[in-house]
Amino acid sequence: MPEPSDIVHALTPYQWQPMVTLVCGLVFLLYLRGLGRGGGPGFWRNTAFFVGLGLMYGVSQTQFDYFSQYVFFIHRIQHLALHHVAAMLLVLANPLPVLAQGAPAWLRDNLITPVWRSGPVRGAYGAVQQPVVAAFLFVGLIYLWLTPSIHFDAMLSGWLYSIMNWSMALDGLLFWWLVLNPYPPDPAQHRIGYGKRCIVVAVVAFPQIVLGAYIFFYGTGVYEYYEVCGSPWPIDTDTDRMLGGLITWIPSAMMSVLGLLIVLSQMFRQEKREAERMGRDAAASGSTA
Protein backbone atom coordinates (compact mmCIF):
# COMPACT_ATOMS: atom_id res chain seq x y z
CA MET A 1 0.00 0.00 0.00
CA PRO A 2 1.38 3.44 -0.90
CA GLU A 3 1.95 5.81 1.96
CA PRO A 4 -0.15 9.03 2.11
CA SER A 5 3.04 11.01 1.59
CA ASP A 6 3.71 9.07 -1.63
CA ILE A 7 0.21 9.86 -2.93
CA VAL A 8 0.63 13.54 -2.08
CA HIS A 9 3.99 13.60 -3.85
CA ALA A 10 2.54 11.90 -6.94
CA LEU A 11 -0.20 14.54 -7.16
CA THR A 12 2.21 17.44 -6.65
CA PRO A 13 3.21 19.35 -9.80
CA TYR A 14 6.65 18.52 -11.09
CA GLN A 15 6.96 21.99 -12.56
CA TRP A 16 4.06 24.15 -11.43
CA GLN A 17 2.40 26.01 -14.28
CA PRO A 18 0.10 28.64 -12.75
CA MET A 19 -1.91 29.12 -15.96
CA VAL A 20 -2.84 25.42 -16.13
CA THR A 21 -3.94 25.45 -12.49
CA LEU A 22 -5.86 28.70 -12.97
CA VAL A 23 -7.71 27.57 -16.09
CA CYS A 24 -8.55 24.08 -14.81
CA GLY A 25 -9.54 25.41 -11.39
CA LEU A 26 -11.71 28.18 -12.82
CA VAL A 27 -13.47 25.83 -15.25
CA PHE A 28 -14.05 23.34 -12.42
CA LEU A 29 -15.54 25.96 -10.10
CA LEU A 30 -17.75 27.49 -12.80
CA TYR A 31 -19.07 24.06 -13.68
CA LEU A 32 -19.87 23.28 -10.05
CA ARG A 33 -21.59 26.66 -9.75
CA GLY A 34 -23.59 25.97 -12.89
CA LEU A 35 -24.66 22.58 -11.55
CA GLY A 36 -25.69 24.22 -8.28
CA ARG A 37 -28.06 26.47 -10.18
CA GLY A 38 -30.00 23.44 -11.46
CA GLY A 39 -30.58 21.89 -14.83
CA GLY A 40 -27.60 19.50 -14.72
CA PRO A 41 -26.83 17.52 -17.90
CA GLY A 42 -27.04 14.08 -16.31
CA PHE A 43 -24.69 11.48 -14.88
CA TRP A 44 -22.77 10.46 -18.02
CA ARG A 45 -22.07 13.97 -19.26
CA ASN A 46 -21.00 15.06 -15.80
CA THR A 47 -18.72 12.03 -15.58
CA ALA A 48 -17.21 12.79 -18.99
CA PHE A 49 -16.55 16.38 -17.94
CA PHE A 50 -14.87 15.59 -14.61
CA VAL A 51 -12.81 12.72 -16.03
CA GLY A 52 -11.75 14.79 -19.04
CA LEU A 53 -10.78 17.84 -17.01
CA GLY A 54 -9.06 15.70 -14.38
CA LEU A 55 -7.11 13.88 -17.07
CA MET A 56 -5.93 17.13 -18.64
CA TYR A 57 -4.80 18.40 -15.25
CA GLY A 58 -3.30 15.07 -14.22
CA VAL A 59 -0.96 14.65 -17.18
CA SER A 60 0.16 18.28 -16.93
CA GLN A 61 0.34 19.13 -13.24
CA THR A 62 1.35 15.98 -11.37
CA GLN A 63 4.49 13.85 -11.26
CA PHE A 64 3.24 12.24 -14.46
CA ASP A 65 4.63 15.33 -16.17
CA TYR A 66 8.09 14.48 -14.80
CA PHE A 67 8.10 11.07 -16.49
CA SER A 68 6.68 12.54 -19.69
CA GLN A 69 9.75 14.76 -19.93
CA TYR A 70 12.20 11.88 -19.65
CA VAL A 71 10.44 8.85 -21.16
CA PHE A 72 9.32 9.05 -24.79
CA PHE A 73 6.36 6.66 -24.57
CA ILE A 74 5.05 8.46 -21.47
CA HIS A 75 5.30 11.70 -23.43
CA ARG A 76 3.22 10.11 -26.18
CA ILE A 77 0.63 9.02 -23.58
CA GLN A 78 0.55 12.61 -22.32
CA HIS A 79 -0.23 13.96 -25.78
CA LEU A 80 -2.72 11.16 -26.46
CA ALA A 81 -4.54 12.29 -23.32
CA LEU A 82 -4.41 16.02 -24.13
CA HIS A 83 -5.10 15.83 -27.86
CA HIS A 84 -7.44 12.86 -28.05
CA VAL A 85 -8.96 11.30 -24.93
CA ALA A 86 -9.48 14.23 -22.55
CA ALA A 87 -10.47 16.59 -25.35
CA MET A 88 -13.03 14.09 -26.69
CA LEU A 89 -14.51 13.55 -23.22
CA LEU A 90 -14.88 17.28 -22.63
CA VAL A 91 -16.59 17.74 -26.00
CA LEU A 92 -18.96 14.84 -25.35
CA ALA A 93 -19.84 16.43 -22.00
CA ASN A 94 -20.90 19.62 -23.85
CA PRO A 95 -20.17 21.73 -20.75
CA LEU A 96 -20.70 25.17 -22.32
CA PRO A 97 -24.35 25.60 -21.19
CA VAL A 98 -23.42 24.65 -17.62
CA LEU A 99 -20.34 26.89 -17.64
CA ALA A 100 -22.42 29.80 -18.98
CA GLN A 101 -24.93 29.22 -16.21
CA GLY A 102 -22.17 29.18 -13.64
CA ALA A 103 -20.40 32.31 -14.88
CA PRO A 104 -21.23 35.54 -13.01
CA ALA A 105 -23.56 37.76 -15.04
CA TRP A 106 -21.09 40.66 -15.06
CA LEU A 107 -18.33 38.41 -16.45
CA ARG A 108 -20.60 36.80 -19.04
CA ASP A 109 -22.20 40.04 -20.23
CA ASN A 110 -19.21 42.39 -20.08
CA LEU A 111 -16.33 40.15 -21.14
CA ILE A 112 -17.09 36.66 -22.43
CA THR A 113 -20.00 37.48 -24.76
CA PRO A 114 -18.50 40.67 -26.30
CA VAL A 115 -15.16 38.95 -26.89
CA TRP A 116 -16.80 35.89 -28.42
CA ARG A 117 -18.97 38.00 -30.73
CA SER A 118 -16.09 40.23 -31.84
CA GLY A 119 -15.09 40.06 -35.50
CA PRO A 120 -11.51 38.85 -35.04
CA VAL A 121 -12.48 36.04 -32.67
CA ARG A 122 -15.39 34.86 -34.82
CA GLY A 123 -13.20 35.07 -37.93
CA ALA A 124 -10.41 33.05 -36.35
CA TYR A 125 -12.87 30.47 -35.03
CA GLY A 126 -14.52 30.15 -38.42
CA ALA A 127 -11.14 29.66 -40.08
CA VAL A 128 -9.95 26.86 -37.78
CA GLN A 129 -13.35 25.16 -38.00
CA GLN A 130 -13.06 24.71 -41.75
CA PRO A 131 -12.82 20.92 -42.25
CA VAL A 132 -9.61 20.98 -44.30
CA VAL A 133 -7.92 23.43 -41.91
CA ALA A 134 -9.07 21.50 -38.83
CA ALA A 135 -7.78 18.19 -40.19
CA PHE A 136 -4.48 19.76 -41.26
CA LEU A 137 -3.94 21.35 -37.85
CA PHE A 138 -4.88 18.18 -35.99
CA VAL A 139 -2.36 16.05 -37.85
CA GLY A 140 0.11 18.85 -38.53
CA LEU A 141 0.67 19.62 -34.86
CA ILE A 142 1.49 15.98 -34.15
CA TYR A 143 4.04 15.96 -36.98
CA LEU A 144 5.40 19.37 -35.97
CA TRP A 145 6.11 18.50 -32.36
CA LEU A 146 7.54 15.10 -33.31
CA THR A 147 9.96 16.59 -35.86
CA PRO A 148 13.24 15.52 -34.21
CA SER A 149 14.94 18.95 -34.13
CA ILE A 150 11.80 20.75 -32.94
CA HIS A 151 11.04 18.02 -30.41
CA PHE A 152 14.58 18.26 -29.04
CA ASP A 153 14.27 22.02 -28.52
CA ALA A 154 10.76 21.79 -27.05
CA MET A 155 11.80 19.24 -24.46
CA LEU A 156 14.73 21.40 -23.35
CA SER A 157 12.83 24.72 -23.25
CA GLY A 158 10.31 25.36 -20.50
CA TRP A 159 8.28 27.93 -22.43
CA LEU A 160 8.34 25.93 -25.69
CA TYR A 161 7.34 22.77 -23.82
CA SER A 162 4.38 24.66 -22.35
CA ILE A 163 3.36 26.00 -25.78
CA MET A 164 3.55 22.46 -27.18
CA ASN A 165 1.19 21.05 -24.54
CA TRP A 166 -1.23 23.99 -24.69
CA SER A 167 -1.41 23.75 -28.48
CA MET A 168 -2.20 20.05 -28.33
CA ALA A 169 -4.96 20.52 -25.75
CA LEU A 170 -6.60 23.49 -27.47
CA ASP A 171 -6.40 21.97 -30.94
CA GLY A 172 -7.85 18.72 -29.63
CA LEU A 173 -10.83 20.58 -28.18
CA LEU A 174 -11.42 22.49 -31.42
CA PHE A 175 -11.11 19.41 -33.62
CA TRP A 176 -13.35 17.13 -31.59
CA TRP A 177 -15.91 19.91 -31.20
CA LEU A 178 -16.05 20.22 -34.99
CA VAL A 179 -16.76 16.52 -35.51
CA LEU A 180 -18.57 15.52 -32.28
CA ASN A 181 -20.61 18.54 -31.17
CA PRO A 182 -24.15 17.40 -30.38
CA TYR A 183 -25.96 20.01 -32.45
CA PRO A 184 -27.39 19.48 -35.95
CA PRO A 185 -25.48 20.86 -38.95
CA ASP A 186 -25.68 24.62 -39.38
CA PRO A 187 -23.23 26.42 -41.73
CA ALA A 188 -23.96 29.77 -40.05
CA GLN A 189 -22.59 28.33 -36.79
CA HIS A 190 -19.70 26.50 -38.51
CA ARG A 191 -21.36 23.13 -37.83
CA ILE A 192 -20.67 20.82 -40.74
CA GLY A 193 -22.86 17.93 -41.94
CA TYR A 194 -22.51 14.40 -40.65
CA GLY A 195 -21.00 13.13 -43.90
CA LYS A 196 -18.19 15.69 -43.71
CA ARG A 197 -17.67 14.87 -40.04
CA CYS A 198 -17.19 11.21 -40.93
CA ILE A 199 -14.72 12.07 -43.66
CA VAL A 200 -12.69 14.42 -41.46
CA VAL A 201 -12.42 12.02 -38.53
CA ALA A 202 -11.44 9.18 -40.88
CA VAL A 203 -8.89 11.23 -42.86
CA VAL A 204 -6.81 12.16 -39.80
CA ALA A 205 -6.29 8.50 -38.86
CA PHE A 206 -4.04 7.52 -41.79
CA PRO A 207 -1.23 10.10 -41.26
CA GLN A 208 -1.05 9.12 -37.59
CA ILE A 209 -0.74 5.47 -38.55
CA VAL A 210 2.07 6.32 -40.98
CA LEU A 211 3.95 8.41 -38.41
CA GLY A 212 3.57 5.86 -35.64
CA ALA A 213 4.72 3.03 -37.90
CA TYR A 214 7.72 5.07 -39.05
CA ILE A 215 8.77 5.81 -35.47
CA PHE A 216 8.33 2.14 -34.54
CA PHE A 217 10.25 0.64 -37.46
CA TYR A 218 12.71 3.35 -38.58
CA GLY A 219 13.06 5.85 -35.75
CA THR A 220 16.34 4.52 -34.32
CA GLY A 221 18.49 7.44 -33.15
CA VAL A 222 15.87 10.00 -34.17
CA TYR A 223 14.86 11.20 -30.70
CA GLU A 224 18.30 11.83 -29.25
CA TYR A 225 16.93 13.93 -26.41
CA TYR A 226 15.93 10.82 -24.46
CA GLU A 227 19.42 9.35 -24.92
CA VAL A 228 21.02 12.58 -23.68
CA CYS A 229 18.78 13.27 -20.69
CA GLY A 230 18.66 9.72 -19.37
CA SER A 231 15.62 7.79 -18.21
CA PRO A 232 14.38 7.46 -14.60
CA TRP A 233 13.54 3.83 -15.46
CA PRO A 234 15.80 1.00 -16.66
CA ILE A 235 14.33 1.04 -20.17
CA ASP A 236 16.29 0.75 -23.38
CA THR A 237 15.95 3.81 -25.65
CA ASP A 238 14.94 1.66 -28.62
CA THR A 239 12.24 -0.04 -26.57
CA ASP A 240 11.08 3.36 -25.35
CA ARG A 241 10.97 4.66 -28.92
CA MET A 242 9.08 1.62 -30.21
CA LEU A 243 6.48 1.89 -27.45
CA GLY A 244 6.08 5.57 -28.31
CA GLY A 245 5.57 4.64 -31.96
CA LEU A 246 2.91 2.10 -31.06
CA ILE A 247 1.04 4.68 -28.96
CA THR A 248 1.18 7.16 -31.84
CA TRP A 249 0.06 4.42 -34.22
CA ILE A 250 -2.67 2.28 -32.65
CA PRO A 251 -4.57 4.18 -29.91
CA SER A 252 -4.67 7.36 -32.00
CA ALA A 253 -6.19 5.48 -34.93
CA MET A 254 -8.68 3.77 -32.63
CA MET A 255 -9.83 7.17 -31.40
CA SER A 256 -10.77 7.99 -35.00
CA VAL A 257 -12.78 4.76 -35.19
CA LEU A 258 -14.54 5.66 -31.95
CA GLY A 259 -15.18 9.18 -33.23
CA LEU A 260 -16.65 7.78 -36.44
CA LEU A 261 -19.03 5.54 -34.46
CA ILE A 262 -20.14 8.49 -32.34
CA VAL A 263 -20.83 10.63 -35.43
CA LEU A 264 -22.89 7.83 -37.00
CA SER A 265 -24.85 7.47 -33.76
CA GLN A 266 -25.53 11.21 -33.73
CA MET A 267 -26.65 11.10 -37.35
CA PHE A 268 -29.09 8.23 -36.72
CA ARG A 269 -30.55 9.98 -33.67
CA GLN A 270 -30.98 13.20 -35.65
CA GLU A 271 -32.71 11.33 -38.48
CA LYS A 272 -35.01 9.66 -35.95
CA ARG A 273 -35.92 13.03 -34.42
CA GLU A 274 -36.63 14.45 -37.87
CA ALA A 275 -38.82 11.48 -38.76
CA GLU A 276 -40.76 11.83 -35.50
CA ARG A 277 -41.20 15.56 -36.08
CA MET A 278 -42.48 15.00 -39.61
CA GLY A 279 -44.87 12.35 -38.26
CA ARG A 280 -46.25 14.76 -35.68
CA ASP A 281 -46.62 17.50 -38.31
CA ALA A 282 -48.45 15.11 -40.61
CA ALA A 283 -50.74 14.01 -37.78
CA ALA A 284 -51.45 17.63 -36.84
CA SER A 285 -52.23 18.51 -40.47
CA GLY A 286 -54.60 15.53 -40.75
CA SER A 287 -56.48 16.49 -37.59
CA THR A 288 -57.08 20.02 -38.82
CA ALA A 289 -58.19 19.00 -42.31
Task: State pLDDT tens for residues 145-182.
Answer: 999 999 999 999 989 999 999 999 999 999 999 999 98
Whether 6 has a pLDDT exceeding 70, the answer reads no
What pLDDT does 14 receive?
75
What pLDDT does 230 receive?
77
Mean pLDDT, rounded, for 248-272? 92
Q: How many Å from the N-terminal Cα to the C-terminal Cα in the chain?
A: 74
Whether 289 has a pLDDT exceeding 60, the answer reads no
What pLDDT does 186 receive?
84
Answer for the pair 202, 256: CB distance below 8 angstroms, yes or no: yes
Q: Average pLDDT over the chain, rounded to whole?
A: 90
What pLDDT does 56 receive?
96
Segment 119-137, tens digit of pLDDT: 899 899 999 999 999 999 9
d(CA 177, CA 199): 15
What pLDDT does 190 receive?
81
Mean pLDDT, rounded, for 89-113? 91
The pLDDT confidence band at residue 226, using thresholds 50, 70 and 90, is confident
Answer for the pair 68, 77: CB distance below 8 angstroms, yes or no: yes
What pLDDT does 141 receive?
97
